[in-house]
Structure 1
């Protein structure tokens, strides 16, 4: 087997698409590396890094089958040969949330602990562990079949920095997921029960109307209750949690620190934000908060210190700000197809600073 064939076969294995014969071929290919002493220093370092991942991914190694361990042991070799950095996804049955931000792939974890790598240009069928068709992927969206169920079974999707993705839930609700977000959702909704999903990050919802089954978004410290409407929810770590209503009506609730519940009813064009353990109602321009769905990056007269996280998620970069005075500078604008360099140069028109780009790291410096 040549390198190209092995690469394609390993990709199939990561997607759980290998036949038994192909698994045997991959087994033999991996086994051929057991006596190979020719790894260079770079590959050796990657092997050591992978050992650390292995310790986290497989705490009970004695319970794993030999082939699984063999694939894991030599995954570093595949990293060296093919650059398959996303392979770490497949080998973690736990701890996914801790590493998902460090690799460049959309991941769906099914109720039976399968972990599916989703490529945005693919068209594929999503099946359950019994072989039934649950949904279908058409490039940047997965559509789930309209299946009622008596028992709720949940999937979870992670969208890394630099990517966006869409879901059509089994009730017809559309969900647009922003970069650095995750959503836990049922693959089918039970009749006469609340349609409940769990969000971390940011998403825009177009909820299918169903007066008998209210829809609820649980977003850490707030809940958003609706019947059928369009709205945006954001609850990234270390950022203000808020909900913005585009059309219809929603109730935003918050359980305060003294165990009481505060609620706000939103009208279109209003935002409820959680500030100092209280819900604050304000008028906003809705488009400013939802145009990320079209790939735009927008700022609403925001401090640079709060903008940094948005830049990191949108461009999949790390920003290190060594010029703290810049944090108090406010910026406003919409960036569509601009590169990270275009954005920084635009900022420099209204604030003096220097910057360096080192691979995926942006270092902000005091101007000379």
Structure 2
């Protein structure tokens, strides 16, 4: 941790132009590290906090500023300090420094301005109807446990500098680590960005978006109406809930996040109506309530959702103190 803080401090000094000769040498050493992209992402996210949202996203203006910075870097390369360095890798990360210097969060904006996912390569799609779940192995070996009533779009091959996919619904991700190629999940206007980690996303329409992290680090941003809005930098055991343009970061239980892929559902102080909506997707049934007050009642319960529906309902009824009837694909709660 001490070494990581030292490296981040050096990056900030370089951005401000206050590095000594010795520190410039150390900056070049940092650039050789395999996880350097993640380090830059963290510095970028930290620099965003408290800044105004970027309004001027005109691409030519941004490119001009980047070119000026490239020129500065090239001049430094030709300076008296002679250090063996992989020139190609040096300029690969120069763009990140340039955008940090702008101090406007334009790095994320440029990520969003890339060619739409569907125009890059041939796309594949996995669609789960209600009552069906599936496991998808992506071209890089990453695993996606796709929930019921969910849709996943991904390229047949990851090309370019990122691995980008799109999700509607919910899924658990186990991402193959690749520091040179960040993994990005798009859910509407929100982008979740990682290098190699495991996390869960709940992104159903007309519901709050939730990102919960089991391992690694995750950055979540919103890009809407031409503006980039940083939402959260998450570590294991943290989650962000985003609703009505308001993000709330809170704690979560890592084991509960992981176990979702094994059909273990944990409900903490949740209404019976919310739980019923979850079970409707998992079992492809319609659950109705006889009275208006019952669905508002809140309970806490753990359910193993790969069991037959009648067993699930027995557990739920014992916890929620109600009776029920099952008829074909209809469940009536009294």
TM class, shorter-chain normalised?
Answer: 0.5 to 0.7
How far 1:359 moved relative to its partner? 0.8
The question of 1:356 aligning with 2:325 is answered yes
Q: How many Å separate the matches in 2 of 1:343 and 1:221?
A: 35
Q: Any idea what SS the aligned residue of 1:313 has?
A: helix
1:11 maps to what in 2?
none
Which of residues 251, 257, 260 in structure 2 aligns to 1:289?
A: 257
1:185 maps to what in 2?
154
Which of residues 325, 332, 345 in structure 1 aligns to 2:314?
A: 345
Decide whether aligned partners of structure 1 residues 355 and 193 sit closer, same or farther in structure 2, where only a CA change above 3 A counts: same
How far 1:252 moved relative to its partner? 0.6
Instruction: Report 1:1-368 matches (<5 A).
Output: 151-190=120-159, 192-255=160-223, 259-336=227-304, 337-365=306-334
| Deviation string, structure 1 residues 116-170 (Cα, Å, up to 9, x no partner) | xxxxxxxxxxxxxxxxxxxxxxxxxxxxxxxxxx952101110122221111111
How far 1:241 moved relative to its partner? 1.0
Q: How many Å separate the matches in 2 of 1:185 and 1:258?
A: 24
Please tell me whether the aligned partners of residues 130 and 280 of structure 2 are also in contact (alpha carbons under 8 angstroms): yes
- Unaligned runs of 5+ residues in structure 2 are 1-118
TM-score under structure 2 length normalisation: 0.60
Q: How many Å separate the matches in 2 of 1:286 and 1:264?
A: 17
TM-score under structure 1 length normalisation: 0.54
Q: Any idea what SS the aligned residue of 2:177 has?
A: coil
Please tell me whether the aligned partners of residues 212 and 239 of structure 2 are also in contact (alpha carbons under 8 angstroms): yes
Q: How many Å separate the matches in 1 of 2:225 and 2:247?
A: 13
Query: Higher helix share goes to which structure?
Result: 2
Q: How many Å separate the matches in 2 of 1:311 and 1:264?
A: 29
Moved more, 258-267 or 283-292: 258-267
Please tell me whether the aligned partners of residues 272 and 294 of structure 2 are also in contact (alpha carbons under 8 angstroms): yes
- Unaligned runs of 5+ residues in structure 1 are 1-149
Q: Which has the higher contact order (CA 8 A, sep 6+)?
A: 2
How far 1:194 moved relative to its partner? 1.7
| Deviation string, structure 1 residues 212-251 (Cα, Å, up to 9, x no partner) | 2211000124210111111111112332211111111110
2:86 maps to what in 1?
none
Q: How many Å separate the matches in 2 of 1:360 and 1:227?
A: 42
Q: CA RMSD in A?
A: 2.1
Q: How many Å separate the matches in 1 of 2:321 and 2:284?
A: 24
